Structure 1
Amino acid sequence: MSDRIMLTGLRAHGRHGVYDFERAQGQDFVVDVVLDLDLGPAARSDDVTDTVHYGELAERLVAVVTGEPVNLIETLADRLLAVCLADPRVGSATVTVHKPEAPVPHTFTDVAVTMTRTRAR
């Protein structure tokens, strides 16, 4: 499928990580999402109900990031993928979770995990 909806740079404060101080203080996480789906019906109807409403999707993704803490950003990415694939119109989704404040004792720009899942047909 060649149609895509992309939501990038979605920032939310979460309490994910393996260290106690990460759970106590929390930190910002940044999420990028790419959804593969047929956008033809929405393009023809010009009706938001015929597509994935990216504002509503953002709300559901932020709820996961700000919700129950997990140890690994891999687990967080998997939970975010489940949100994306909950809409039956989405054929596949790619989620990148950035942890720019990760507890790494060296200068770095970003730590990120990217996962892609395709809907089982």
Structure 2
Amino acid sequence: MSDVISIKGIHGFGYHGVFDHEAKNGQDFYVDLEIALDLSKASTSDDLKDTIDYGALADLVVEEITGARVQLIEKLAGRIADRIKASHQQIERVSVTVHKPKAPVSAEVADIAVTISR
């Protein structure tokens, strides 16, 4: 059985996208994380070393959002998931959702998001 850590709405300003204007002007991105792992030790020890530092996870996400440009949010989500998984061996599963609410599409939409699980 897995426990879950969720962090929603991590914000960063990035320059990701297929179009030149996205690379030039940038836009807001939001990321949600859902991380499955065994938290039984942390639930009894009350010690940070027995879990994952939420602040460090959020900082990693912001680094990726504000870092090197990619064309697809699928790539951005995959990069975030792979970095989290590689740096925390105790994670059984990580799901990363990247929201691009101002994606340049012709239809009016509230949000466009991609979720990657590893």
- Asked whether the two chains share a fold, i.e. TM above 0.5, the reply is yes
Maintained 8 Å contact 1:61/1:83: no
CA RMSD of aligned residues (A): 0.8
Match of 1:17 in 2: 17
Q: Which runs of 4+ in 1 moved over 2 A?
A: none
Maintained 8 Å contact 1:35/1:84: no
Residues 33-52 of structure 1 mapped to structure 2, 5 A cutoff = 33-52=33-52
What letter is aligned with 1:62?
V
Matched, 1:6 2:31: no
Match of 1:100 in 2: 101
Deviation at 1:4, TM superposition (A): 0.3
What letter is aligned with 2:95?
T
Q: Which runs of 5+ in 2 are unaligned?
A: none
Match of 1:27 in 2: 27
Deviation at 1:79, TM superposition (A): 0.4
After superposition, give the CA deviation of every residue in 1:12-61 in whole Å (9 maximum; x if it has no partner): 10100011110111000110000000001111110111101111110011
Q: Aligned with 1:68: secondary structure?
A: coil
What letter is aligned with 2:41?
P
Q: Percent identity?
A: 46
What letter is aligned with 2:112?
V
Q: TM-score, normalised by structure 2?
A: 0.96
Distance 1:71 1:115 in 2: 16
Q: Which runs of 5+ in 1 are unaligned?
A: none
What letter is aligned with 1:88?
Q
What letter is aligned with 2:6?
M
Distance 1:75 1:106 in 2: 23
Q: Aligned with 2:11: secondary structure?
A: strand
